[in-house]
Structures are given as C-alpha cells and as structure tokens.
Chain A
C-alpha cells in the first residue's frame, strides 16, 4: 500500500517536470468512414488547421505556455458509435470537442459531453433540438433550421414576389421543423399559405396532394424534406401542369436532386444551404490557400466552421486564463471575434448569432448561389 503511494508521488513529480509546456487535448468527432466520410474528414481538417496555427503562433494560458493536441475520432455518422466515441473523448481528458457532423449523432453525443462537463461546438449540425436540451456547453457555428426556414420564407415572399405559398413536408423532425419555420416566415412577410400538405420520407407518389395544391394556384411550392422525394415531386409537378416556382431546403440542395429531377429542373427551382459559399466568407480566399497547402485538396464544406469552432474554444481559454471547462465556459458564452466564416458570437442557447443562409438557384446544370 505504502509503496503504491510512493510510486504515485514519484510519477507525478516526473510528470510535473516534463510539463514545462502544458499539453491541452482537444477532441474532434466526425464520420471518417462511410458515405459522407469526405465531409467528415474535411471537418476534422478544419479543426486540425486551427490547432496547428495556434501551436505555431504560441498560446499562453494563465501565464503558462500551452501546446494543443488534437484527438480525432470516427463516429461513422451513426448515433450509437457517436455516443461511444464521445465517451472515449471524455475519458481521454479532452477539454473541448469540435463535432459532430450529423444532427443525429450530435444530439445523443451532447448528453455524454454534458455529463463529462465538456463543451461541444458543432460546425455542421443544423437541427434546432441540439441547442434546446438545456445543456450548458453546447454550441454551433452554423445557422440552424429555424434561421434557415426564416430565410426561405422571406426569400419566397420578398425576392420571388409570392403572394400564395403552398407548403409540403415529409413529417420527419428535419422536414417538419424546416417547413414550420418557413410557414411562420411566409406569414410574417405578409403572404398567404394556401395549402399545407404532408407526405412521408418513403413516398414516391405525390400526385394526389399536388393536384389538391394545384387548385389553390400557388406562386411558390415549398418542400421540407430530402432530395429523394423532392426530385420525383418536381417531376410530378410538371406532369400535372403546375408552373409554380419550387423551393426546398438543404435536404434538396444536392447534386443528387439535379439528377433525380432530371429535365424538370429549371431556373425557377431554388434551394437553401446554411452558411456562406467559401468565396463569400470574409477569410475565405486565404483559408482556401492554406487548406490546399496543408492538405492538398479543396475545402468541401464544413472546414471553415470547424476552424472557427476550435478558435472559439482557445480564445475562451485565453480569456479565462485556464483550460478547465468549468472556468472557460462562461467566456465561451460571451465570445465575440471575427473568424473565417464571419462574426462568431453565440446567443443564450448556444446558436451562432448571425448565422448566414445562402439561397441557390439552378443554372447551367448546377446549383449557383444567388
């Protein structure tokens, strides 16, 4: 018994001596395998760039020089694996986490981080629920679906000049949430919602609800759901002789949508994505250069948001003078700086304050930002 105590004492002295430069571990969690592995790796790369830049620049926290170490985990875009790797990061003693990518993994994982008392910033998950769980340390650097729906509704009325809007959703948490927010914004902008119809995320036949919508003669039809439904829906609209403009959220804002809708795609097809295209971000051009130099490829999507998330954590640590989550969390809530994606500041729930949403229209076979 006595021997062990002595051994521990010696060990801790040894460790203390080696830590002239304190090492602070940060975690990254994203799908690194599977169908969206390229997006997950991109997210991790963004965090890694921030960590490497900060290490090169030299960070002092509470008078001590600090070196950051990044631990990257693969959540396979799977909720169960997501909670497992979250626990692994907590056990490894990370002081903050950038991730996860999918709302479906971010939400269950956030409980683990909360129990471990570790702040989590997601650079990619948009479901409003993530920040509505009353967890103290959950943030995101990308606009959520409430902000997206608001932008979509306003766009339909203000930019497309719609007076009558028909809204369809697929009854999933994502589709319904986005459609509800869009409906609110349409009404708030002074237009009328003439039809509110529903389908499922497994349906292929929308003729019945589209026929019903046709009788209400809407200017714009909005669909909250994924590309696998939005594509056939747009085709059936044309087959029923409906000439209304078609608008959908990020679920339909994919190359897949263009493929599935085929010749039904036209200049009056629009979709939205949370965030700005890289070229329009304040630090976008420089970021692209550095990213290419370091990783030898193009930025996919979330790297700049991950970069800002990691930077936010470190800036909060600097301000608090401590890398301990309980100390720096109050500073993280108050953080306010100009990042790569724009101004980074969180509201009281942890959502980014000025979350940008970009509307795309279909042009020359591609989605083009407007």
Chain B
C-alpha cells in the first residue's frame, strides 16, 4: 500500500452524499488532506528512526551473516546514558544552553555505545564466528537480556521522563498540519547520518575494506585486510547510529525505560528484511516504508476495510507488506546486492 492508492480510493467514497450516515468513512470529516499529510509526517518521523536502527542490523548481517538481536538494546543504553549525562549536566551547570547540553549528552552516549558494540563483538561474537549460525543468534538474544537486566539494575524499573531540550511546541507549516522542531531534527538528522554512512562505505578506504570483508572475509584477509578490525569497526559504527536513534526516539516521546529498545529493534529488523537485509539502501528504504505504512495502516485500516478491522490490527499492515514483498521478492525490496553489500 502506498499513499497514492489511499488517495485514489478515499475521495470517491467520501464524496458520495448518499452513503449511509453510520458509515465510518463519513467520520473522516473535514480536513482529509491535512490528515493525509499529517499521517505522512508521522510515518516519516518514526520511519527515519527505524531506518537508522535498521542500518546497524543490516551492516552486521552483510558482513557476518549474523542477526544481532541485541542491537535494539544498544539503542536503549544510548538513550539512558544520554539521560544520565543530561541530568548530571543540569545539576552541574544549570545555565548551560540546551543545544550544547544535548550535544555533549549525545557524544557521551555515542562513545559509550561504541565501546559497548566493540565489547559485545569482542567478548560474545568473535569466538563464535566459525560456529554454526544458530550459536551466535542465540548468543545475541542472551546479550539482549543481559543488557536489559543490567540497565534495569542501574536505572530501575520505572519510566523516566526524558528532557526535551529541542522544543516540542508544534509548528504549523501548512494550516492544520503540525510538526515539532524535534521531529524536523529527527528527519534531517537521520538523513544526514545515512548520507554520511553511504559516503563512508563507498568512498573511503575503510569502506572499501568493509565491502571486501562482506564479500568474502577469508579472501579479504589474504589480500591484507585486517578483517577482525573491520568487523569490530562495523559493530562500533552500528552502535553509534543506534545511540543517536535512541536519543531521537526518547526525545520525541519524552520517555525512556529499560525495555524501550525491544519494539523499535523488532520493527527495525523487519525494516531491514523488507528492504533486503545486508543492503544499506534497502535498510533506509525499508525503514521509511515501514514507518509510513504503519502510520497509514493505523489511520486508515478502519475505512479501507469498511469498519471490519480497526486500529488494534495496525501491525497487520506492516507484516502483510513484509509477507508480500518476501513472496514476490525473497531478497527484499532492493535485494541483497552481493557485490555491493556492506
């Protein structure tokens, strides 16, 4: 389902004045266009975050064939470390400008998560690199539980209020359509990071080493590539992106919790598969598509099924699309381009 089909179906039904009054379509009422654009924005915001997380999944999979299920929890650690830093800074230097404070917190979170990514790879996954595929997969799930439990011990079971240092007062670029500065930052911030990552992988020496390792790490190491370092670097970059995504996620919703990484992690994994796991462009496209589909799914499912299904089935759309894509394109939307994966 793309936005276009929705526009195509809806107005014809809506403008039928003879429709039964109880028909749920009538309830869309005024501002159809505003609602449509708003849903698109909602989808883009959450989709950008999914895309950023999905990159971490897809990079690791591209190089190792490993699905790192602990990736979502790295996001949580990033968000909570940034929270801790902000709380500390507010106590130490209450007069500090919010933007500086956020930058410092983000930097600390990125560094901590990069260290975490490095440690994870070094301690848990490297030893299992030549083990059967199931072993590292189960280990990844174990690491996920471990991170959640440690976070629970450090930060407690309660939900934390997340300081929203970028304003959340909504702007109205178009009458009736609202977007907050945080959301604008999320969309452009993640776009910039994704472009940066593409440049890194395609234009730099380490990027070339990553692509070589992805293609065949035995041969790459014969050619003088330090594959251990490249793999560690991949984990570190992925964890850094997850830290940024975590801060974005928590800032947008104003809430953080030791279990917050699970759902976005799962959705981002879906996005990575949707776009074609192992493919960077695919992860980005998959993330955005998933976010938009979810948003339109929740918003229009009731109208599209004439009230037969309602928003409690909103996740159906995401997984229906995933199923369809995998049936017709088993390697995802963009496929796993073996020569170009990273």
Tell me whether B299 and A240 are in contact (CB under 8 A).
no
Contacts of B122 in A (CB 8 A): none
The verdict on A319 contacting chain B, using a C-beta distance below 8 Å, is no
Query: Do A232 and B255 have beta carbons less than 8 Å apart?
Result: yes
Q: Which residues of B contact A256 (CB under 8 A)?
A: 158-159
Q: Are B310 and A259 in contact (CB under 8 A)?
A: no
| CB-CB under 8 A for A208 and B39, given A198-B310, A239-B168 | yes
Are A232's CB and B38's CB within 8 A? no
Can you list, as one digit per residue, whether each of B64-97 has a CB less than 8 Å from chain A (1) or not (0)? 0000000000000000000000000000000000
B161 touches A260 (CB 8 A): yes
For A195, what are the chain B residues with a Cβ–Cβ distance below 8 Å?
A: 27
C-alpha gap A354/B164 in the complex (Å):
44
Please tell me if the beta carbons of A211 and B254 are within 8 angstroms of each other in the complex. no
Chain A nearest CB: distance from B223 CB in Å?
Answer: 46
CA distance in complex: A355, B323 (Å):
50
Chain A residue nearest in CB terms to B255: A232
A231 within 8 A of B: yes
Instruction: Give the contacts of A170-229 with B (CB-CB under 8 A).
Output: 171, 194-199, 202-205, 207-209, 211-212, 214-217, 228
Q: How far is the CB of B215 from chain A (nearest CB, A)?
A: 38
Contacts of A216 in B (CB 8 A): 27, 29
Chain B residue numbers with a CB within 8 Å of A241 are: 170, 172, 176, 178
Q: Within B3-56, which residues are at the interface with A (CB < 8 Å)?
A: 27-32, 34-35, 38-39, 42-43, 45-46
B-chain residues with CB within 8 Å of residue A236 when the two chains form the complex: 253
Inter-subunit contact A232/B253 (CB<8 Å): yes
Does B157 sit within 8 A of A, measured CB to CB?
yes
Residues in B lying within 8 Å of A, measured CB to CB: 27-32, 34-35, 38-39, 42-43, 45-46, 157-159, 161, 164, 168, 170, 172, 176, 178, 180, 183, 249, 253-255, 257, 259-260, 262-263, 294-300, 310-312, 314
Minimum Cβ distance to chain B for residue A244 (Å): 14
Find chain A residues with CB under 8 A from B295 CB.
Answer: 207-208, 211
| Nearest Cβ on chain B to A169's Cβ, whole angstroms | 9
Say if the beta carbon of A115 comes within 8 Å of chain B: no
Say whether A239 contacts B170, CB under 8 Å.
yes
Which residue in chain A gives the minimum CB-CB distance to B267?
A205
Say yes or no for A235: interface residue by CB 8 A criterion.
Answer: yes
Contacting pair A240 B170 (CB below 8 A): yes
Q: Do B170 and A205 touch (CB < 8 A)?
A: no
Residue of B nearest to A226 (CB): B159
Residues of A within 8 A of B172 (CB): 241
Q: Can you list 10 contacts pairing A with B, beta carbon distance less than 8 Å? A: A204-B253, A207-B45, A209-B311, A211-B38, A212-B298, A232-B253, A235-B254, A239-B168, A239-B178, A259-B161
Known pairs A202-B263, A217-B29, A235-B253; A35 contacts B157 (CB<8 A):
yes
Bound form: Cα–Cα A228–B253 in Å: 11
Cα distance, A196 to B30, chains bound together (Å): 18
CB distance from B16 to the nearest CB of A (A): 18
